[in-house]
Amino acid sequence: MQSESKTSEFESIDLSEFIDSNKTLENTVETGIVVLTGRQKVIVDELNQKLAINSPSHHESFTKRMEDLKNLAVSIANFPSLLARANMTADVRTPQDIIESLVGANSYGESFLQLPSKATLGKGFLVAKIHTFSALTKLAVQDNADPKLIAAFKEETTSMMFLLLAEDVYLNLVKDDSLDIDFRRQLATSLLLLWEHRADQNISDISPVLTKVWKARSTLAPAFGTMMGTSELIMFSFQMDEVWSKFIKTQLANPEVSQAMEEFLFGISYEQISRLKRMLREKGISAIGRDEVSKFLGEHVTTDVSGDYKDFYTQYSIRRDNARARKRLNLDGPHRTLEDHFIRFVMEQNREKQNNDSFAK
């Protein structure tokens, strides 16, 4: 917890500095929620035209679903903006009040009831939008749409899943009092922008990278009991995005990061990985396949992987909850997920670049 003196030194943040006016998002409800980004509008319009010609019944369902989504956004938009001063009964709430509340919150326990109404309702909107795009993907398949259009819908659905994930990560990092207070306030500002618009510019950098890593995980088929899979992923990483390669080169030597990487790669917990390694070492077995893990651990574990965005989020949420429990109980093992580490790294890199650019001016 930060001292009162540090809190009092905090200067008001001009939120306009965090909004890139050159990247205006289209089809935005008047109060700020992005119903469809420019790219999403293009593919939705294309599918709309195809369904109107080829499948009138599906087109009717499509039109109603999109109208429902927009109406939901309009309803949420009636709640006070998080980026402006708002009168809350006898109290006045400012963006800075929300930021200070976030960075000063207790690290443990569920904070759902402490979050602004627009934040919790907006999360429901995002889930509804994910389900809508998943349904539109199926409609595109049934209508024998262009494979590129189907792929575009899948990519957008996955990107929205990462937006959901990013919100979790921001909340985790904002409450982490081991991080620099100014950085946590910057994260809190990013959260406010995400809650207000249900869009986040950082995701455009993060989503494609983590998607590629997830797909690589499904093809590497790592050998349990060794670090062979991780080594292969490292080699693969050097052929990937520059930011991910830099993350691997500079961060993987940190035991916390390498443990989080193992959990991500193997799909089981740090505790299960440690127990499995110990058992294999005692039995003199160098490695086993995914299908043998349950037998050795004596419990059913799901180690298979798929490219489905729901599986990605499910695996992430399990690792997130385990990491929170370890931190709360001060147990060995990763206290943050791989996604926590990577998103933190990306934001710190962006922050450093902004500072350097400001200094150059």
pLDDT values of the chain reduced to their tens digit, one per residue, 361 residues: 444 443 333 344 444 444 443 343 445 554 578 999 999 999 999 999 999 999 998 999 999 999 999 999 999 999 999 999 888 677 888 999 999 999 987 655 656 778 899 999 999 999 999 999 999 999 999 999 999 999 999 999 999 999 999 999 999 999 888 899 999 999 999 999 999 999 888 887 788 888 888 877 766 655 665 545 566 666 666 667 788 889 988 998 999 999 998 898 888 999 998 998 888 888 888 778 777 888 888 888 876 666 688 888 999 999 999 999 999 999 999 999 999 999 999 999 888 888 777 666 6
Question: Is 336 inside a domain boundary?
Answer: yes
Please say which residue of 201, 229, 252 terminates a domain: 201
* Count: domains in the chain: 2
Q: Give the up-direction half-sphere exposure of residue 5: CA atoms within 13 A in the CB hemisphere.
A: 0
Contact criterion met (CB below 8 Å) for 334 and 256: yes
Please say which residue of 168, 201, 234 terminates a domain: 201
Question: Is 327 inside a domain boundary?
Answer: yes
Question: Is 8 inside a domain boundary?
Answer: no
Residues 194 and 177 in one domain: yes
Q: According to the model, what pLDDT value does residue 126 have? A: 96
Q: How far apart are CA 300 and CA 272, in angstroms?
A: 11
Residues 63 and 188 in one domain: yes
Question: Is 259 inside a domain boundary?
Answer: yes
Question: Is 151 inside a domain boundary?
Answer: yes
Domain that holds residue 134: 24-201
| Tokens coding 270 | 């740090």
Q: How far apart are CA 77 and CA 281, in angstroms?
A: 58
Q: According to the model, what pLDDT value does residue 24 have? A: 38
Residues 131 and 209 in one domain: no
H-helix segments, 55-116? 56-77, 95-103
Burial state string for 314-331 with b = 16 or more CB within 10 A and e = fewer than 16: ebbebbbebbbebbeeee
Residues 265 and 177 in one domain: no
| Tokens coding 260 | 């989080």
Residues 226 and 356 in one domain: yes
Helix (H) or strand (E) holding 86: strand 86-88
Burial state string for 172-210 with b = 16 or more CB within 10 A and e = fewer than 16: bbbbbeeeebebbbbbbbbbbbbbbbbbbbbbebbbbbb
Residues 130 and 248 in one domain: no
Residues 58 and 180 in one domain: yes
Q: According to the model, what pLDDT value does residue 6 have? A: 38
Residues 195 and 212 in one domain: no
Sequence-distant (6+) residues with CB within 8 A of 279 are 296
Distances in whole angstroms, Cα of residue 350 to Cα of each of 15, 173, 184, 193, 345: 17, 16, 14, 16, 9
Residues 192 and 210 in one domain: no
| Tokens coding 202 | 């950082």
Residues 213 and 327 in one domain: yes
Q: According to the model, what pLDDT value does residue 87 have? A: 82
Question: Is 49 inside a domain boundary?
Answer: yes
Please say which residue of 161, 177, 201 terminates a domain: 201
Q: According to the model, what pLDDT value does residue 308 have? A: 80
Sole residue written with tokens 């309009």: 74
Question: Is 6 inside a domain boundary?
Answer: no
Q: According to the model, what pLDDT value does residue 239 have? A: 67
Q: How far apart are CA 63 and CA 332, in angstroms?
A: 52
Sole residue written with tokens 């180690």: 303
Residues 162 and 273 in one domain: no
Question: Is 5 inside a domain boundary?
Answer: no
Contact criterion met (CB below 8 Å) for 202 and 346: yes
Residues 60 and 183 in one domain: yes
Q: According to the model, what pLDDT value does residue 22 have? A: 38
**Structural Rg of the chain based on CA atoms:** 22
